């Protein structure tokens, strides 16, 4: 048994918040009865659910790795009419949405799914999902600066958790460093690099958990195989168990 608004969202009818509005407006029937109470629980496998007179079908769960280009908004819509993630998924019949956000001026790996449980686990802080970035920074950070990132730096919202950091390229006036973090603070990598005196000039996310953008070009996506989804959920389960033991 699951909440009715959750079932409607999983079926691709609307977002959970929009589904709540449909329920409150009396546009949803369960087994021939209009339901207006939020939190009503139903069985999607046996209950007969109609929205505006149409029978809902349980939506197939799908998850994609998307190589988000620069200057694309990681949301379902944008009042300024800028390009958003759904613009790239118009031919996918399921209502898929981005998992978390990747900044407007950052490119790279973004998961797009209609699997609410998977999305919630990836976003929840207790799972400490690793995110790897390649940052091109102004100037050449010395070893002391890199060590600050490894130990944690003080930002306006507190000390960051230790990061894995590796210098991968040095040029005359800039450098590329690889950073792996598991927190999800707003613009965290950019703020960390600025805090050590080396602001980010370009940023790309290359890995999330055990998934990478290898083989994809900007704007391209591919669907995860069932084995990849299984491995990802197993990884998340392992992280949760380790955190419980701490």
pLDDT at 243: 52
Can you spell out the DSSP letters for 139-179? S---HHHHHHHHH--EETTEEPPP-EEEEEEE-SSEEEEEE
Active-site option among 43, 87, 103, 142: 103
- Matching fold, domains 2-55 and 130-208: no
pLDDT means over runs of 10, the chain (246 residues):
84 84 94 92 87 84 96 94 96 90 96 89 88 98 97 96 96 96 94 97 97 97 95 81 50
Residue 133, pLDDT score? 98
What is the dotted CATH code of the domain comprising 63-125+211-245?
3.30.70.580
Residue holding tokens 């033991």?
A: 245
Residue-level pLDDT at 242: 54
* Cβ contacts of 86 within 8 Å, gap of 6 or more: 76, 77, 96, 97
Question: What's the CA gap between 146 and 137, in Å, rounded?
Answer: 12
What ranges do the domains of the chain cover? 2-55, 63-125+211-245, 130-208
- Domain 2-55, CATH homologous superfamily name and number: RNA-binding S4 domain (3.10.290.10)
Round the CA-based radius of gyration of the chain to a whole number and report it. 21
Respond yes or no: is residue 172 known to be catalytic: no
The pTM for the full model equals 0.80
- Please give the CATH topology (third level) of the domain spanning 130-208: Alpha-Beta Plaits (3.30.70)
pLDDT reported for residue 116: 81
């Amino acid at each position: 048994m699951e909440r009715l608004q959750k079932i409607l969202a999983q079926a691709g009818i609307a977002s959970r918040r929009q589904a709540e509005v449909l329920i409150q407006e009396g546009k949803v029937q369960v087994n021939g009865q209009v339901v207006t109470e939020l939190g009503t629980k139903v069985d999607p496998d046996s209950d007969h659910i109609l929205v505006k007179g149409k029978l809902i079908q349980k939506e197939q769960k799908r998850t994609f790795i998307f190589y988000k280009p620069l200057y694309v908004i990681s949301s379902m819509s944008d009042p300024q009419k800028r390009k958003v993630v759904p613009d790239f998924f118009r031919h996918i019949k399921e209502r898929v949405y981005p998992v978390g956000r990747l900044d407007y001026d950052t490119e790279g790996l973004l998961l797009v799914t209609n699997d609410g449980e998977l999305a919630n686990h990836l976003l929840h802080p207790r799972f400490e999902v690793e995110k790897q970035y390649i940052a091109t920074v102004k100037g050449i950070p010395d070893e002391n600066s890199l060590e600050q990132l490894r130990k944690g730096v003080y930002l306006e919202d507190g000390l960051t958790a230790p990061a894995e950091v590796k210098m991968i390229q040095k040029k005359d006036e800039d450098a590329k460093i690889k950073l792996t973090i598991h927190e999800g603070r707003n613009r965290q990598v950019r703020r960390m690099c600025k805090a050590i005196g080396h602001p980010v000039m370009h940023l790309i996310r290359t890995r999330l958990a055990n998934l990478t953008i290898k083989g994809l070009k900007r704007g391209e996506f591919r669907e995860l195989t069932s084995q990849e989804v299984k491995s990802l959920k197993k990884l998340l389960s392992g992280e949760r168990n380790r955190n419980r033991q701490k």
